[in-house]
Structure 1
Amino acid sequence: MSASISKNMKMFCVSCQRFLQRCNVRRFSDGRGYESTMKGWIRHMRKQKHVNFIQLNDGTGKPAAQIVTSPEICSKDVTEGSCITAYGKYQESIAQEQSVEFLAEEIKVHGPCNMQKYPFQPRKIHSHEHLRQFLHLRPKTALTSAVLRIRNTATMAVHKYFQENGYIFIHTPILSSNDCEGAGQLFTVKVSEKNDDDEKKPIPEFFTSPVFLTVSGQLHLEAIASGISKVYTFSPAFRAERSQTSNHLAEFYMIEAELSFTESLEDIMQVMEGLIKSLTREVMETSADDIRFVHRRNSASSDLLTAIDDMIEKEFIRLPYVEALSIVNQICESPELKWGDDLQRAHEKALVKHCGNVPVFVTDYPEELKPFYARLNEDHKTVAGLDLLIPGVGELCGGTLREERYDLLHQRLKSKNLLSTLSWYLELREFGSCPHGGFGMGFDRYLQFLLGMPSIKDVTAFPRWTGRCQL
């Protein structure tokens, strides 16, 4: 771009400048604007006798200029939803709400839109449930495109935090022979093959042992952390939960990290808290316009904005399991919880609300409530495990110190009949093991909180849940 164009672009507002940078600016025309093109999909169109007004959207952000054109150059295919290129120039606008507008002299229609069948009618607010019926089309809507831009910003912010803090990113496998959580909610991988040579001849198994879609990359991260001290992964996970609730998906994304040379849950909590504060601050600053739009669309309350501010500014609360249990029994009318009972989602939300809607770490759970790899505490009743609870969602993260002592881990695996399948995991304790720990965080559930989204199904482009796997 020439120096004269750069100088004149400073006359426009910042949002307009960003939009112009995405356009194909061809040459400086006169003192009023630029000869250029605008490409995208028509979001709104207002027709008058002598002039048409078009709001164009290319999906990368809110449009910065309205297209003004004569009805004569608008063919019958120039409708809401159609894909076009407008040729013309930018000029100063006399409208108070905008500094520039685009005067179109020619419009080329790349793809018309059949408005008789189009499921998203202009200027109509459609429900989340309606949008969900058209997963392949809903990225065209203002709501879904805003959510996906926010998701992109949050994804980059996750990597930014770990990279700036010395972590190495690891691609953990999607196919796995391990049930990390021991919950048994696994998708089993089957190979469908036809033997064309001899139908009676058996087809050999593709793998020599049962294989599943991964529920977590944690065990593989632990293997890496035995040689690289700070690692993380950000990858899909799969759980065959037959749940129709608003905060469960069959396929979702997990942020997981592993730290070597730590013997304190506090070390793990500091990383988790630092990640969430940094992530939230980055998204709220970078995607402010999209956040405001999604909040308005979801009728988010002022309580959500306060909770987001508190998540950034206030220190997270730490509560041992026994204290959390006592508080829940005081504030909830449900049957009294006893030692060894797990907190349900209603208990978690009530506990966070009682603590002023500030995120709460619940630590030192009874041994039977945490997975086999959690490190046994000195009381031999509890383990060094934690959950992070946040407003409106409940559990967001789970973490533990890992049991690095060979004898104790061997005993635990033997009692759960896991010695044969996890012999490699036990072997890590034989060759230079060290105290270590880590955590996992549900990325989609975090976005559900941040956006005030009623259902987790609407924070990802193609949600999968029991009974539904479209496209």
Structure 2
Amino acid sequence: MAAFKNIKLLFVPLRIFLNKTPSSLQLNLYRFKYNEAYSVKSVLLDHPVGSDVVVKGWVKSIRKQKRTTFMHISDGGVEQIQVVIPSSACDEDCCFNSAVEISGKVVVSPKCNQPVEIQGEKIKVVGKLDLQSFPFGPRKYYPPEYVRQQIHLRPKTNTYSAILRLSSLISNALQTTLIQDNFVSVFTPILTSNDCEGAGEVFLIRPSSNEMCREMGGNRKPEESYFNKKVYLTVSGQLHLEAIAGGISKVFTMGPTFRSENSRSRRHLAEFRMLEAEIAFCNDLQPILSTIESLVKQSAKIILELGSLDLVTVGNYYNENLEESLNELLKFSFATISYREAMELLLKNRDSFKTPPRDGADLGSEHELFLVNHMGGPTFLVDWPANIKPFYMRTSDDAHSLVSCVDLLVPGVGELCGGSLRENRYDILKSRLQALNLEESLNWYLDLRKFGGSPTGGFGMGVERLIAYLLRIPNVKDIVPFPRTPHNCPM
């Protein structure tokens, strides 16, 4: 931890980057010019010595001497480039983290870890910075709790900007992996009239204008005035995905979901992203397990290939060797155990827990983490008791007390992903909905079984939890740009 510096000079050796970057990006990205300025990456990789360039970015370090000023500039990418400029030409307002525009020539760098630098000729400060009140200083370590309090400014730190770039790579890897496996990307609604999980952890919505509620609703309750019924922020797009899977056999969505849990733990947020997928003609759990494992490992591969420098930055901050842990993940074959086997193991070790496990009950995070550590890595937990799982899960043909479902447990996080086969037997599903007084509101869901529906199965994966697992970040609030939790909704 002590070795970490908040401001870390990061360079990209030309041959290393070229070896790891797809040729399509090399052809289309480096020559991109925006607003009369070139990206730092393009200057490092694509501009010959002697060419005139303009770059715009933020000063990540600055060292002023009598005749010469040295600074490193970042435009938001992992790359930084050194600028050498006469001190007489350096704007007096130029300081750490100020926004600048620099004109100069590309010259050979005397440093072996950077091929070129910019011999600055003119500098313009386009965004002044009050260094006295700025909450971050150069080359200083700040704990996550402090950085979290400066939520609107933390993208200026090297660590958090690295987390954002790696998060983008992971999000793209998830979608690319599914699309390459013939999944179709769709959008499911944020506003919905159903509580998919049935836990009541929903946010009820209504117009803020009482006048509009009276005008539209008449004698109805305000929360029913706009849509003629209660409508919520979605907790899951699964039921809608099942409808789409009635005509397209593989579909997925990745969007915001909302849970009104009264929890401020390091794993929970009121708003987060969920990757959800649905597979038609799915009769057993194996395609679901295979898809989940592929998504996790492909995400790890991508950030190893394209995010190596950012991995160093984040790993230094959290005192983790991320490259080593990701390579170990790629070698590990995910284990599988049943709920019954897991419960027997937990009960044998009941004295190890603050809250002892109860047979037939859900698992707590300490139980999940114990199981993962015992199994040595990511573990699929299958065949759960039906009475603690949602109505839509299919009961096993040979044991109606169990449902064909899976939770993926991973180190440091616990539950990352949950999935199941869906109950496609019309009469059984109808009786469940009747018992829950949901038959009227989910009559359309029954229709999916009546009109040419196939067996389906699917899963949902918390994107922020996946990022937390891969990057060994203890708290998901340090991943989401603007975390929303109980009693906390800044900006």
TM over 0.5: yes
Quote the offset at 1:32 in angstroms.
Answer: 4.8
| 8 A Cα contact 1:360 1:388, kept in partner | yes
Matched, 1:366 2:385: yes
Alignment of 1:308-387 (within 5 A): 308-333=326-351, 334=353, 337-356=357-376, 358-377=377-396, 378-387=398-407
| 8 A Cα contact 2:59 2:100, kept in partner | yes
| 8 A Cα contact 1:12 1:100, kept in partner | no
Partner of 1:246: 266
Matched, 1:94 2:92: no
Q: Secondary structure at the match of 2:465?
A: helix
What's the C-alpha RMSD, in Å, of the aligned pairs?
2.5
Quote the offset at 1:293 in angstroms.
Answer: 1.1
Cα pair distance change 1:14/1:107, threshold 3 Å: farther
Partner of 1:55: 72
Cα pair distance change 1:130/1:31, threshold 3 Å: closer
* Partner Cα distance (1:382, 1:311) in 2: 30
Quote the offset at 1:456 in angstroms.
Answer: 0.3
Q: Secondary structure at the match of 1:188?
A: strand
Quote the offset at 1:164 in angstroms.
Answer: 0.6
Cα pair distance change 1:31/1:274, threshold 3 Å: closer
Pick the aligned partner of 1:157 from 168, 173, 180. 173
| 8 A Cα contact 1:364 1:382, kept in partner | yes
Residue 422 of structure 1 aligns with an amino acid whose one-letter code is L
* Partner Cα distance (1:328, 1:35) in 2: 67
* Partner Cα distance (2:418, 2:291) in 1: 12
* Partner Cα distance (2:274, 2:196) in 1: 13
Q: Secondary structure at the match of 2:172?
A: helix
Cα pair distance change 1:402/1:408, threshold 3 Å: same
Quote the offset at 1:94 in angstroms.
Answer: 2.2
Q: Deviations over 1:183-239 (max 9, x none)?
A: 11111102122539x99x958711111000000000000011111111000111000
Aligned residues: 454
Partner of 1:83: 99
Q: Secondary structure at the match of 2:146?
A: helix
| 8 A Cα contact 1:234 1:256, kept in partner | yes
Pick the aligned partner of 1:187 from 190, 196, 203. 203
* Partner Cα distance (2:342, 2:171) in 1: 32
Partner of 2:457: 437
* Partner Cα distance (2:175, 2:349) in 1: 39
Q: Deviations over 1:406-435 (max 9, x none)?
A: 111011111112112211111211111211
Q: Please, which moves more after superposition, 210-219 or 135-144?
A: 135-144
Pick the aligned partner of 2:60 from 43, 48, 59. 43
Partner of 1:73: 89
Q: Please, which moves more after superposition, 172-181 or 282-291?
A: 282-291
Q: Please, which moves more after superposition, 318-327 or 17-26?
A: 17-26
Partner of 2:291: 271
Residue 222 of structure 1 aligns with an amino acid whose one-letter code is E
| 8 A Cα contact 2:191 2:233, kept in partner | yes
| 8 A Cα contact 1:195 1:203, kept in partner | no
Partner of 2:10: none
Alignment of 1:387-402 (within 5 A): 387-402=407-422
Residue 359 of structure 1 aligns with an amino acid whose one-letter code is P
Matched, 1:258 2:278: yes
Cα pair distance change 1:33/1:20, threshold 3 Å: farther
Q: Secondary structure at the match of 1:392?
A: coil
Partner of 1:468: 488
* Partner Cα distance (1:288, 1:12) in 2: 14
Residue 430 of structure 2 aligns with an amino acid whose one-letter code is H
* Partner Cα distance (2:48, 2:484) in 1: 53
* Partner Cα distance (2:235, 2:142) in 1: 34
Partner of 2:233: 213
Unaligned runs of 5+ in 1: 1-10
* Partner Cα distance (2:30, 2:443) in 1: 59
Pick the aligned partner of 1:299 from 316, 319, 336. 319
Q: Secondary structure at the match of 1:76?
A: coil
Residue 240 of structure 2 aligns with an amino acid whose one-letter code is H
Q: Please, which moves more after superposition, 138-147 or 87-96?
A: 87-96
Q: Percent same amino acid among aligned pairs? A: 40
| 8 A Cα contact 1:307 1:391, kept in partner | no
Q: TM-score, normalised by structure 2?
A: 0.87
Unaligned runs of 5+ in 2: 1-12
| 8 A Cα contact 2:91 2:124, kept in partner | no
* Partner Cα distance (1:78, 1:224) in 2: 55
Quote the offset at 1:48 in angstroms.
Answer: 1.5
Quote the offset at 1:339 in angstroms.
Answer: 2.8
